[in-house]
Chains A and B, each alone.
Chain A
Amino acid sequence: MSRSQSQTSITSNEPRIREAIRERRPQKRSKLYSLFNNSLFTALVVIIGLLWSIPTFGLFVSSFRPGTLIKTTGWWTSLVPPWNFTIENYQQVLSAQGLGQAFLNSLIIAIPGTLLPLAIGAFAAYAFAWMKFAGRDFIFLGIVALLVIPSQTAFVPVLQFFTAIGITGQYLAVWIAHTAFGLPFSIFLLRNFFAALPNDLIEAAHIDGASHLRIFTNIILPLSVSALASLAIFQFMWVWNDLLVSLIFLGGNPQYAPMTLTVANLVGSYGTNYQVLTAAAFISMALPLIIFFSLQRYFVRGILAGSVKG
């Protein structure tokens, strides 16, 4: 009796013990495993991070070196004394190359180019999410389908159209173009965000007699700040960094040219004049980099959502 009892207790314990043994062994091994690998991976990953940063860092250092040195010695040689840095490149670029004006132009283009698609898109997105009218889903799907059309198809006819109504080469042409090209994505993203807001909230407001306009401004927009911010940052970067749209609609009008266009022209005409190029490029990178580092969270979220943008 006692024998069998003890036996059962052993057998009932046995699997647990075995489990414990089995558990411990691989655990120990995987710990060692990950310990070894993690330090190796950390080293490897640090090297990758450095590799990725070196080109930008090289530009940054070069932009502070005298022009004659940029071409004749590598930028890394300037990191050891005697140091020979100067801000002359920046002074030259800002005064003589009109980069200051180009910076202003970029802002003039990018701010309406960001706000317009956001505003127009938000209104449409609200209608698609919370209004009921015939053909609503059909039109929305049609707009999503527009994401497949490359902007290249638009350029020839739109350029002719703009030239016909006389706005080619004006800010207006670029504003409209950026708004239109940003719209399908902005509507798509905002509609999905708005539609995910709680139904009860909107219905309650309706029952209380609130109009659509009131619901839109007082409920939907305040609840969507993060989505709007992500979209705004994404669109701003897109417009700020754009070259093709400006090239096509502003190409012949250098006094309105944004930074990207000015820098691209400098590459063309001063292809080997690196003291001009490096400083100009760094000035045009400055604002996106500041936005990137201060609003990284929103930026990443916008990029994540933007992964469907064509």
Chain B
Amino acid sequence: MTSPGKRRKQDNIWWSLLWIAPAVILLLIFFIYPLVMTIVFSFQNADSTRFVGLKNYQVIFTDPGMLEVLKNNLLWLILGTILTVGLGLVIAVMIDRVKIESIIKSALFVPMAISFVCAGVIWRLVYLYNPPGQPQSGLFNAILTFFNIPTQVWLINPMFNNFALILVYTWMWTGFCMVIISGALKNIPDDIIEAAKIDGANRFTLFWYIIVPMVRPTIAVVATTMIINILKIFDVVYVMTGGNYHTNVVGMEFYNQLFNFQNYGLASALAILLFLAITPIMYVNIRRMRAEEVTR
């Protein structure tokens, strides 16, 4: 049986190209040309007048300030991904059979509609610090005062501030992870859960040996999204600390090098670093997506 689509002859190539031309031209200007240029810039000096070899990359991996940037990004990557995906999974399972599921989902999902800038303002209010002796108007410090624990300058103290920023991100993105994982949970057939229960599985075994393996592909998608997001993290840091007080990350440092120091070479090298970090993750993601498309 030949499908009618197969029999139809080729379309006029120029007519077809006209349909995709605006998109292709824009993509060439915004993706291909810049990628090539950025690679070239990354091997040049600050104002792109002279080639300096791998010096920019060397700076990234040796300069103490830059190493701190990389260290912070790594902390973000590990903690941010675990918190958003982990909490998302646990909450998705918890709300699965609860009557008020949709209300709770909305509550967790609302931060997704809020910009990082506004989230920054919201959380500055939570982290607000007043000198000891005065009433604390920030929620966190008020709770600490209530339990007689010394108050903290959350956004400045380097012991806490990275965690404080990661918490903001977690607040914003857990809802996303939860909604997507919850969609996958709904696709687990009821008889599998019932069979496991009859075989005497308790809640923990059910969760760990049945539910988690069954939604593993979805967890992978969500985790990839979080990893890529976090690699490029910029807004939260920009609004809350500006990268000061030892909270700098690659996305923030890229901006600083580009605008505050006009060092195009170093900024480009940082962008290429992000590109190199994201490519393998995205490659795996797209391959799996295509594999799913084939099996569907």
Q: Which of B51-59, B71-79, B230-238 contacts A (4 or more CB under 8 A)?
A: B230-238
**Residue of chain B at shortest CB distance from A128:** B20
Say if the beta carbon of A285 comes within 8 Å of chain B.
yes
Say whether A146 contacts B27, CB under 8 Å. Answer: yes
Report which residue of B104, B232, B283 has the largest number of chain A beta carbons within 10 angstroms of its beta carbon: B104
Q: Given the complex of chains A and B, what is the CA–CA distance between A153 and B292 in angstroms? A: 30
B123: Cβ under 8 A from any A Cβ: yes
Chain A residue, CB-CB nearest to B14? A133
| Residues 175 to 228 of chain A near chain B (Cβ within 8 Å) | 176-177, 179-181, 183-184, 187, 192, 199-200, 202-203, 206-207, 212
How close is B233's CB to chain A, nearest CB, in angstroms?
11
Residues from chain B with Cβ under 8 Å of A62 in the complex:
125
**Which residues of chain A are near B110, meaning CB under 8 Å?**
52-53, 56, 289, 292
Interface contact B26-A183, CB-CB below 8 Å: yes
Using Cβ atoms and an 8 Å threshold, which residues of chain A touch B20? Answer: 123-124, 127-128, 139
Contacting residues, chain B, for A74 (C-beta < 8 A): 135-139, 142
Cβ contacts under 8 Å, A144 to chain B: 286
Which of B9, B33, B41, B117 makes the CB contact (< 8 A) with A281?
Answer: B117
How many residues on A have C-beta within 8 angstroms of the other chain's C-beta atoms?
113
- CB-defined contacts of A243 to chain B, threshold 8 Å: 115-117, 234-235, 238-239
B: number of interface residues (CB 8 Å): 108
For B139, list chain A residues within 8 Å (CB). Answer: 54-55, 58, 74, 76
Instruction: Determine which of B35, B114, B235, B254 lies in contact with A149 in the assembled complex, contact meaning CB atoms within 8 Å.
Output: B35
B282 lies within 8 A of A153 (CB): no
B108 within 8 A of A: yes
Binding site for A on B (CB under 8 A): 3-5, 8-11, 13, 15-17, 19-20, 22-24, 26-27, 29-31, 33-35, 37-38, 41, 91, 94-95, 97-100, 103-104, 106-118, 120-126, 128, 130, 134-139, 142, 171, 174-176, 179-180, 183, 197-198, 200, 203, 221-222, 225, 228, 231-232, 234-235, 238-239, 242, 251, 254-255, 258-259, 264, 267-268, 270-272, 274-275, 278-279, 282-283, 285-286, 289, 293
